[in-house]
Amino acid sequence: MSDLSLFFGQFLRRPSEIRAIAPTGRATAREMARLVTPDMQAVAEIGSGTGTISAAILNTGLPPERLEMYELNAAFCGRLRDRFPGAVVHNLPAQEMVNVGRAGLDAVISGVPTLPMPDELQSAIVGAAFQMMKPGAPFVQITYGPAPPLSEAVRRKFALSHTKSPRIWANLPPAQVYVFRQL
């Protein structure tokens, strides 16, 4: 089955978890991976889906064994394990990284749809990520909406500053990439 069919089929089953009808486009995936460098020791990707962004991360030259993925959907995890042997795929919510993951992450790349989530869930995900990241490391978040994908309360709670990419129109729907760091 193609990635597109798998993705759309899972979207129909779990629309509130997946929140997009198609995988991220290549231009957006490249922008998501822009800050990853081959010498990084550990990178986590959360909400990996069928692996479009994962492929862009590995195309930077990062060795697969330095990439850990967290994905809720078991069917997507099967696809990720087939596509990226060597990478570590956890069929777990991103918040669980504090229990099973590597500390000292150089970056967290997030395809998890944070914008529609309540503050408590945003906080659990972002808090877990920053607990596992090196000081100053980037938390890179895709979004489709006009507002920052983390609420003002969550940004204030974790003392986050951000930059954002121009809107990427070659994506369904058009996307933007935010980079959050702790002040």
Ligand X SMILES: C[S@@+](CC[C@H](N)C(=O)[O-])C[C@H]1O[C@@H](n2cnc3c(N)ncnc32)[C@H](O)[C@@H]1O
| Binding-residue pattern over the window 71 to 110 for ligand X, x denoting contact by CB under 6 A | xxx--x----------------xx----------------
- By beta-carbon proximity to ligand X, the closer residue of 46 and 89 is 46
Which of 31, 36, 48, 66 lies at the binding interface for ligand X (CB under 6 A)? 48
Which of 6, 33, 44, 46 lies at the binding interface for ligand X (CB under 6 A)? 46
Separation between Cα atoms, residue 101 and residue 145, nearest integer Å: 30
**Which residue is associated with the tokens 């003002």?**
152
8-43 burial string, b = 16+ CB within 10 Å, else e?
eebbeeeeeebbbebbbbeebbbbbbebbeeebebb
140 contacts ligand X (rule: CB under 6 A): no
112-148 burial string, b = 16+ CB within 10 Å, else e?
bbbbebeeebbbbbbebbbebbeeebbbbbbbbeeeb
Which one, of 114, 123, 125, lies nearest residue 92 by Cα?
125
# residues contacting ligand X (CB under 6 A): 23
How far apart are CB 61 and ligand X at their closest, in Å? 20
148 contacts ligand X (rule: CB under 6 A): no
DSSP code at position 26: H
Q: What angle do CA 97, 144, 71 make, to 5 degrees?
A: 25
Which of 33, 44, 70, 150 lies at the binding interface for ligand X (CB under 6 A)? 70
Specify the stretch interacting with ligand X by CB under 6 A; choose among 41-49, 60-68, 129-137, 155-163.
41-49
How far apart are CB 84 and ligand X at their closest, in Å? 13
Which positions lie near ligand X, rule CB under 6 A?
Answer: 17-20, 23-24, 46-49, 52-53, 70-73, 76, 93-94, 111-113, 125
